[in-house]
Amino acid sequence: MRLTAMSTTAAHPPMMTLDEALQRLTSAAAQHRLQAQEAVPTAQALGRVLASPVQSTLDVPPADNSAMDGYAVRFADLLPGAYGAAVLPISQRIAAGAPGQPLVPGTAARIFTGAQVPAGADTVLMQEICEALPAAVDVAGDVARVRISLAAQPKLGQAIRRRGEDVAIGATVLRAGTRLTPQALGLAAAVGLAELPVLRRPRVALFSTGDELAMPGEPLKPGAIYNSNRFTLRALLQAAGCEVQDLGIVPDRLDATRAALRTAAHDADLIVTSGGVSVGEEDHLRPAAQAEGRLDLWQIAIKPGKPLAFGAIRRGDDDASGEALFIGLPGNPVSSFVTFLVTVAPVLRALQGMPATLPQSLPLRAAFDWPRADKRREFLRVQITPEGELVLFDNQGSGVLTSTVWADGLVDNPAGRAIVRGDTVRFLPLANLIAA
- Tell me the mean pLDDT in the region 174-200: 96
Give the highest mean pLDDT range of 208-212, 285-289, 302-306, 337-341: 337-341
9, pLDDT greater than 80: no
- Domains in the chain and their CATH numbers? 15-36+201-351 (3.40.980.10), 39-60+170-199 (3.90.105.10), 65-161 (2.170.190.11), 362-428 (2.40.340.10)
Selection from 232, 303, 239, 241 nearest residue 431 by Cα: 239
Q: Strand 409-413 to strand 424-429: parallel, antiparallel, or no bridges (unpaired)?
A: antiparallel
Cβ atoms of 34 and 200 within 8 Å: the answer is: yes
Give the tens place of pLDDT for each residue, 227-246: 999 999 999 999 999 999 99
Q: For the ranges 12-26, 182-196, 225-239, which has the lowest average pLDDT?
A: 12-26
Pick left, alpha or beta for residue 147 (phi over 0 → left; psi -120 to 50 → alpha; otherwise beta): beta
Please state, in angstroms and rounded to a whole number, the distance separating the CA atoms of residues 371 and 359: 26
First to last CA, the chain: 25
Q: Residue 11: count other Cβ atoms within 10 Å of its Cβ.
A: 7
- Give the rounded percent of residues in the chain with a pLDDT score beyond 90: 75
90, pLDDT greater than 90: yes
User: What is the model's pLDDT at position 277?
Assistant: 67
Selection from 320, 250, 260 nearest residue 289 by Cα: 260
pTM score, whole prediction: 0.85
User: What is the model's pLDDT at position 138?
Assistant: 54
